[in-house]
Structure 1
Amino acid sequence: MKANQLDNCRICGTLFFKDYTDYCLDCYKEIEEEFKLVNEFLKIEANRFADIQEVSESTTVSVKQIAEFIRDGRIYAEDFANLGYPCKHCGKVIKRQILCSDCFEDFSSKIDATLKNDKFLEETGRKRVRPKVNAQYWKIR
């Protein structure tokens, strides 16, 4: 059995024993109440086509927190036609992950190209040449 560890709450900074969450008991209870509000709102059939902004305005739960519920799998966005959150890079509405598929593919190809270039340079014995930046400093007269 793992010993309890002291940690600071990610929301309020209070020191607490970290068992299963990153939040103190008070903040955890508040998050659970927010989840119940959002969940009850989405259970109403008339609200099934609401987007994340409408859900936030109706429940007073932040868009960031609702997006966190979706990312954590507590709310299954696939069940709701308009529910999603913005991609961290381009802002396109997505229902899973942090990046949309286009941004993910773009970043993956850039990383692959960089890794191939580094491997080539390593195999040929060359070193990556970094551009020199001439720093300019102001002098007091």
Structure 2
Amino acid sequence: MHSNQLENCVLCGRLYLKSYTDFCLDCYKEIEADFKKVDAFIKDEANREATLEELSEATDVSEKRIADFIRDGRIYGEDFPNLGYPCAHCGTVIKRQVLCNSCYEQFSSEISRTLKRDKLADEIGRQPQQRAGKYWQVKQDK
């Protein structure tokens, strides 16, 4: 059986018994109230074209929190043509993940190159240096 642990709330820092969220009860209630405001606003047909900035301004919910709702799948960004949040690297508006496809591909190729270079360096470093070995072997024989 899993026992609850004391944790600090990610938002306010207060101690709470962690069970299912990273937030204390007060912060959790605040997040849920914000979600209900945002959800009610975008469910209205007239507001389906709203951008992240417009949605934030109309509901008094921070853009970061709305982006978290989209990123967590609580709001399906694909249903709203203008609703998205900026890529963490370049700022391009995206509807899921943290990076746009371009930045993801760029980082993936850089990581792949780095891993290949490190693997090659490890392989070169592990090979016995035969020339030095033979030199010392010949010198010791004399």
Aligned length: 126
Partner amino acid for 2:98? I
Residue 82 (structure 1) aligns with:
82
C-alpha separation between the residues in 2 aligned to 1:42 and 1:122?
54
Residue 93 (structure 2) aligns with:
93
TM-score when scaled to structure 2?
0.87
Q: Is there any run of 5+ residues in structure 2 with no aligned partner, and where?
A: 127-142
Q: Which runs of 4+ in 1 moved over 3 A?
A: none
C-alpha separation between the residues in 2 aligned to 1:110 and 1:26?
43
C-alpha separation between the residues in 1 aligned to 2:15 and 2:115?
42
Partner amino acid for 1:76? Y
Write the mapping of 1:60-79 to structure 2, written as runs, cut at 5 A: 60-79=60-79
Give the drift of 1:24: 0.4
State the identity as a percent: 65
Residue 45 (structure 1) aligns with:
45
Write the mapping of 1:1-141 to structure 2, written as runs, cut at 5 A: 1-125=1-125
Q: Which structure has greater helix proportion?
A: 2
Residue 136 (structure 1) aligns with:
none
C-alpha separation between the residues in 1 aligned to 2:2 and 2:68?
27
C-alpha separation between the residues in 1 aligned to 2:125 and 2:25?
56
What secondary structure does 1:7 align onto? strand
Give the drift of 1:125: 1.1
What secondary structure does 1:125 align onto? helix
What secondary structure does 2:7 align onto? strand
Q: What are the Cα deviations for residues 75-105 of structure 1, in whole angstroms up to 9, with x where unaligned?
A: 0000000000000000000000000000000
Give the drift of 1:124: 1.1
Q: Is there any run of 5+ residues in structure 1 with no aligned partner, and where?
A: 127-141
Partner amino acid for 2:19? D
C-alpha separation between the residues in 2 aligned to 1:43 and 1:96?
20
TM-score when scaled to structure 1?
0.88
